[in-house]
Amino acid sequence: MKYTAINFKDKLSKFNDHWAPRVIAELNNYQVKLAKVQGEFVWHDHPDTDEVFIVIDGVLDIEFRDGRVRLETGEMFVVPKGVEHKPVAENECQILLVEPGGTLNTGDTGSILTADNDVWI
């Protein structure tokens, strides 16, 4: 099969760790990533790029210094570049990210939660 669909549920079944995005596709120099998240992430920002969050299944809160947004299944938000944010999920949540290749999950904030980059699944 030269042309094969990328199935989100199939890809999500292949890993279980949290806050460790897996690349599933590239769009020019951008990447589409899937992640499972649960609990509180770290405050960080991405100085050079906006970041798309799409909730595939679950509920994701994105906290900002001056507010927050709750994303449920079938909802999205674009975090503007340079804006500090902290994703939080009370229960496990499956998300899709779109951002330039090379974007670290913790931005410039070195952290134990910094995941390996460019891991394909």
Single out the segment in contact with a copy of itself by CB under 8 A; choices: 14-22, 36-44, 95-103, 111-119. 95-103
Q: Is 45 in the site for a copy of itself (CB under 8 A)?
A: no
| Residue 2 in the binding site for a copy of itself (CB under 8 A) | yes
Joined together, the tokens standing for residue 68 give: 């927050």
The verdict on 51 binding a copy of itself (CB under 8 A) reads yes
Burial class (CB in 10 A: 0-12, 13-18, 19+), 99: buried
φ, ψ (nearest 5 deg) of residue 26: -120, 145
**Per-residue burial over 9-32, b = 16 or more CB atoms within 10 Å of its CB, e = otherwise:** eebbeeeeebbbbbbbeeeeeebb
- Residue 59 or 111: the one with the smaller Cβ distance to a copy of itself is 59
Spatial contact of 96 and 34, defined as CB atoms under 8 Å apart: yes
Sole binder of a copy of itself in the list 39, 65, 68, 120 (CB under 8 A): 68
Stretch that binds a copy of itself, among 14-22, 37-45, 71-79, 110-118 (CB under 8 A): 71-79
Q: What angle do CA 95, 103, 78 make, to 5 degrees?
A: 50
**Contact pick of 13, 39, 65, 70 for a copy of itself (by CB under 8 A):** 70
Binding site for a copy of itself (CB under 8 A): 1-9, 24-28, 30, 32, 49-52, 56, 62, 64, 66-72, 74-78, 81, 98-100
